[in-house]
Structure 1
């Protein structure tokens, strides 16, 4: 980070911001400068790459998923913007230690005993080291002592967008970034390489929340991509890793992504569309119950019911929930000749006023020629 601080001092802070008498190497000035640079840099990376990913990579069809929250995108951004300044406080302390020379960062390739090969090896070791560290920290944050307080806010986003990438509780966000900052205090690392890796890990964090599940087939069970991390958000106890699936496999928490098996969020939405298109009268399965026939599902209280209709508890023998009443158990479909008129057919009798009517329906007084009480109109 001292490369960024030096550039900021040379081109902006010394000539235009700070008083001429305030030395560049003064600790308070360095802390203040690092705080501003870290916050502006993190916010710029988040909004720039998050916006690009959201508009050019993220599948907006996922916003139709039942588990996509109302106003989710704005809520993700607001949460991240509130958290980033707090995350930066301990981060700046570590950057300050780097600037003061306590890390193993070096300026020139010649300073490495391994030359360029050492640079490439350090990049690989950085990825594997941080992947291991994040796995165990992330898994620890799922422990009941920490989850509800620190990590649960990030799991609010079941169907995440790229803007969920930095929407962490501040403690959660800093803890999962800690391996990045510890590495240069333990192992030699070129300063430019470190800066490039810092940008890379931020972009990668955005990418595993972008809903693009494409991974080369040979690497599907090696790279921990968006498909793996989506299942982590949905199913909670799987796929804690950051870049690779190695530690999930070692730790017994690996889960093959449902998206690779035709059961992911996109497949869920496709089945909803198919059911809506196939349903008669334009009535489709509801989002909450895609397995329902015509959008009608057996109730939870009575899952054995046909089309959600069950014989009532009071009359379990009824057909389609319609049974003979207790007062008239012999009735067919609960229709019986009434006590007042036992001769009626199906409980329907010619009325007293019109005993000649068929099935209780007679010619009206105004139109005695009408059949079944229905007569030709005056105009016809």
Structure 2
């Protein structure tokens, strides 16, 4: 079974590195380094493509429709966010490189093919995996606020973006490197707790990059129970609410939820 995982990561390496790098340039590299390089290239592409397209759509094509003109961040602010994210990106992708190594060694509960467990078990385990991730990210994020040294030396890097005209999709990955790794760590920890499809795990790690771009665009999508940008913008302005990731459930359960519509009603 471990060999199947290595065959799969070799395939990903050939697709990404073989398509984007000169022929033979990457093949002499150790397998783990190939994986790191592939994740670095993939993560960078996901970050720039998703953020650029979304910024172009909301700030130019739909200018003033979703957010007022004075809430649009300056080009300088977005370039600074890009600089922070790019400094951290080589470190972010260490985590998926390590998780792939552990999976290939057979240390996790991953399975290679959905046929190994069947579709009903796949969806049940996926729901359990996402619940563990949601719980883990909520508490990791909350402790990054509550434990003062963690906030001061790690999470404060991200919270300099504390109002609408400083938030943009590019801020989604503008973290201290260790902060970004800590918040993604539940994805890896869950692999030791529930049988998870390896390819789905890899896909969800990259979906993180798209999701974090989305929740920093200041647009309240109003799709219950999704923890969208309206909720996350409140997090950046109050620092004490809406620590959740994909949904509002953890904030609701632990008393830290603040609703954007109720917030606006109180201001009126």
Q: Where on the TM-score scale, by shorter chain, does this alignment land: which range?
A: 0.7 to 0.9
Q: How many angstroms apart in 2 are the aligned matches of 1:90 and 1:230? A: 27
Shift in alpha-carbon separation, 1:80–1:146, aligned structure 2, 3 A: same
Shift in alpha-carbon separation, 1:108–1:90, aligned structure 2, 3 A: closer
5+ long unaligned stretches in structure 1: 23-27, 268-380
Aligned 8 A contact 1:208 1:226 in 2: yes
Secondary structure in structure 2 of the residue aligned to 1:105: coil
Instruction: Specify which structure has the higher proportion of helix.
Output: 2
Q: How many angstroms apart in 2 are the aligned matches of 1:206 and 1:173? A: 14
Q: How many angstroms apart in 2 are the aligned matches of 1:69 and 1:148? A: 26
5+ long unaligned stretches in structure 2: none
Q: How many angstroms apart in 2 are the aligned matches of 1:243 and 1:85? A: 25
Q: Deviations over 1:77-120 (max 9, x none)?
A: 111011111222344222222233322221222311xx101111
Q: 1:214 aligns with which of 215, 218, 221?
A: 221
Partner of 2:173: 166
Matched pairs, number: 252
Q: Higher relative contact order at CA 8 Å, sep ≥6: structure 1 or structure 2? A: 2
Q: Does residue 154 of the first structure (1) align with residue 155 of the second (2)?
A: no
Q: How many angstroms apart in 2 are the aligned matches of 1:109 and 1:30? A: 25
Which structure has the bigger radius of gyration? 1
Q: How many angstroms apart in 2 are the aligned matches of 1:124 and 1:18? A: 37
RMSD of Structure 2 on Structure 1 (CA): 2.8
Aligned 8 A contact 1:228 1:257 in 2: yes
Aligned 8 A contact 1:231 1:258 in 2: no
Mapping of residues 241-320 of structure 1, within 5 Å: 241-258=244-261, 261-262=264-265
Q: How many angstroms apart in 1 are the aligned matches of 2:161 and 2:26? A: 42
Q: How many angstroms apart in 1 are the aligned matches of 2:137 and 2:108? A: 20
Shift in alpha-carbon separation, 1:198–1:228, aligned structure 2, 3 A: same
Partner of 1:84: 89
Shift in alpha-carbon separation, 1:190–1:214, aligned structure 2, 3 A: same
Partner of 2:194: 187
Shift in alpha-carbon separation, 1:197–1:70, aligned structure 2, 3 A: closer
Q: How many angstroms apart in 2 are the aligned matches of 1:171 and 1:235? A: 23
Partner of 2:237: 234
Q: How many angstroms apart in 2 are the aligned matches of 1:142 and 1:40? A: 31
Aligned 8 A contact 1:163 1:206 in 2: yes
Aligned 8 A contact 1:164 1:209 in 2: yes
Q: How many angstroms apart in 1 are the aligned matches of 2:48 and 2:95? A: 22
Q: Deviations over 1:155-195 (max 9, x none)?
A: 11122111100000011100000011222232111223223
Partner of 2:41: 40
Partner of 1:73: 78
- With structure 1 as the length reference, what TM-score do the two structures score? 0.60
1:243 Cα offset (Å): 1.0
Mapping of residues 297-376 of structure 1, within 5 Å: none
Aligned 8 A contact 1:68 1:157 in 2: no
Q: How many angstroms apart in 2 are the aligned matches of 1:67 and 1:179? A: 33
Q: How many angstroms apart in 2 are the aligned matches of 1:213 and 1:73? A: 20
Q: How many angstroms apart in 2 are the aligned matches of 1:134 and 1:142? A: 12
Aligned 8 A contact 2:89 2:177 in 1: yes
